[in-house]
Amino acid sequence: MFLDRVKIWVRAGDGGAGAATFRQEAHVPRGGPDGGDGGRGGSVHVRVDPGQTTLRDFQYRHHFKATPGGRGTRSRRHGKAGDDLELVVPPGTAIFDDASGELLADLVAVGQSAMVARGGRGGLGNTHFKTATHQAPKHAQKGEPGEERWLRLELRLIADIGLVGLPNAGKSTLLAALTAAQPRIAEYPFTTLEPNLGVMDLGEDDGRRPTIADLPGLIEGASTGAGLGHAFLRHVERTRVLVHVVDGAARDPEWSHGVIPDELLAHDPGLLDKPMLVVFNKLDLAGAAEAWPDFQAARRADGLPVVAIAAATGQGIDQLRTALGGLLPEADQLDAPLDATGVVVHRIDAMGDGFAVDREDGAFRVRGRRIERLAAQTNFEVEESAERFQRELDRHGIDAELRRAGVAAGDTVRIGATELEWEAQPWEDR
């Protein structure tokens, strides 16, 4: 199956926890803090691999996780970093955040890659928290959680030439005549159910190796969902040149010719700005040979280039090759990606250091990237760590904001995945 849209879940590795250990030496009963830092969690990356043509790798597997960072240990030994995870996709894959619909990256060229989930930072060991007045901190940070999200991957094939036309016009036969590809060909419509790709040889003296995509046949109404072609119309968006294949032996080739431009226009008017070559096929059949003079005259009147061929016998294929060579850009441009928007990676960091307090079914919810991260990195079972966190709430004015919102002793306060019970502050008792 040709898979060009998938939803996957990615999760980066959590950072490892920092250690809260103390030096142990024979003659020193309790030495200074020596807890190492936790290792960074592995991140998830998506990279373009030219060997891929579909998103088939994601058909059955939808969950991908990078490994967590190791814990820090005594003697200032740092935890090992988690391994990154790399997913490979074909050129032309756009990556969206599924929840927000935001485009995270558009990977068009070989070698491009994007980070889609960042590994959590490792927690700091207690050595970092030693101060002149606090020589034996028991506080160490937990690792930062790795990012996780649902992604939608969408493939738009990148080919230099796109073959479009009604079902049974001979598109697949033409692909086979122009390239080494061996697509399925049959005397009934809708033979091609998924795009076929081939690489064209323009002759020894020509260094260009344009790619051709043979697409499933389009029918009237394709742009609004009729037939199969609809799902594939977007694959035409990233071709440089369109070849419109018309069955010359059809009952009314002139009518057939009119259908496709209407569908392309309805899908995306920009498609008609691409250079288009009309190919009148099946010239070996008597009906086609008869219809050709009128068809040719009509295209001349439209100002559209047209070539007559018989894809099945090879007649006219050389002229077609030459005509295509003339429509394609020079080699250096052909190698450059079409609309090389490159990687657009938008980091989602809506609030940064800011925060907001909301009511949430009887409890209080504090939102803010920085404070949520801090909460995730705090081990509330260690009193010293919990106190530190309380001081951070105070320092950033979150404490005051919660009180303005009406928080009282015993209330639940949620910060990220952390749930805290609000305790009366010493000064409240006064």
**Which residues make up the interface to ligand GTP (CB under 6 A)?**
165, 167-173, 185-187, 189-192, 216-217, 281-282, 284-285, 310-312
Task: Work out the widest C-alpha separation in the chain, in whole angstroms.
Answer: 107
- Determine contact, residues 178/321, Cβ cutoff 8 Å: yes
Q: Which stretch binds Mg ion (CB under 5 A): 186-194, 275-283, 358-366, 409-417?
A: 186-194
Return the one option of Mg ion, ligand GTP, none that residue 282 interacts with (CB less than 5 to 8 A, by type).
ligand GTP
The three-class DSSP label of residue 261 is helix
- Determine contact, residues 217/245, Cβ cutoff 8 Å: no
**Considering beta carbons, is residue 65 or 267 the nearer one to ligand GTP?**
267
Return the one option of ligand GTP, Mg ion, none that residue 179 interacts with (CB less than 5 to 8 A, by type).
none
**Considering beta carbons, is residue 215 or 357 the nearer one to ligand GTP?**
215
Report the alpha-carbon distance of residue 41 to residue 346 in Å, rounded: 21
Task: Please list every residue from 140 through 179 that binds Mg ion, using CB under 5 A.
Answer: 171-172
**Considering beta carbons, is residue 71 or 235 the nearer one to ligand GTP?**
235
**Considering beta carbons, is residue 230 or 282 the nearer one to ligand GTP?**
282
How far apart, in Å, do the first and last CA atoms of the chain sit? 72
Rounded to the nearest whole angstrom, what is the least distance from the CB of residue 306 to ligand GTP in the complex?
15
Residues forming a β-bridge with 307: 279
By CB under 5 A, is residue 192 in contact with Mg ion? yes
φ, ψ (nearest 5 deg) of residue 227 = 70, -155
**Considering beta carbons, is residue 114 or 218 the nearer one to Mg ion?**
218
- Determine contact, residues 109/337, Cβ cutoff 8 Å: yes
Radius of gyration of the chain (CA): 31
Rounded to the nearest whole angstrom, what is the least distance from the CB of residue 247 to Mg ion in the complex?
12
Q: Which stretch binds Mg ion (CB under 5 A): 69-77, 184-192, 315-323, 344-352?
A: 184-192
Rounded to the nearest whole angstrom, what is the least distance from the CB of residue 166 to Mg ion in the complex?
11
**Considering beta carbons, is residue 33 or 167 the nearer one to ligand GTP?**
167
Nearest in space to 14 (alpha carbons), one of 36, 34, 44, 52: 44
| Four-residue CA torsion sign, 141, 143, 145, 147 | positive
By CB under 5 A, is residue 377 in contact with Mg ion? no
- Residue 292 CB partners (closer than 8 Å, separation 6+): 248, 280, 283, 308
Rounded to the nearest whole angstrom, what is the least distance from the CB of residue 267 to ligand GTP in the complex?
17
Rounded to the nearest whole angstrom, what is the least distance from the CB of residue 239 to Mg ion in the complex?
16
Q: What residue type is 179 in one-letter code?
A: T
Taking the CB of residue 242, how many other CB atoms lie within 10 A of it?
22
Report the alpha-carbon distance of residue 395 to residue 397 in Å, rounded: 6
Rounded to the nearest whole angstrom, what is the least distance from the CB of residue 168 to ligand GTP in the complex?
4
**Considering beta carbons, is residue 114 or 260 the nearer one to ligand GTP?**
260
Q: Which helix (H) or strand (E) holds 196?
A: strand 196-199
Return the one option of Mg ion, ligand GTP, none that residue 312 interacts with (CB less than 5 to 8 A, by type).
ligand GTP
State which residue has the least CB distance to Mg ion: 192
Binding residues for Mg ion, per CB under 5 A?
171-172, 191-192
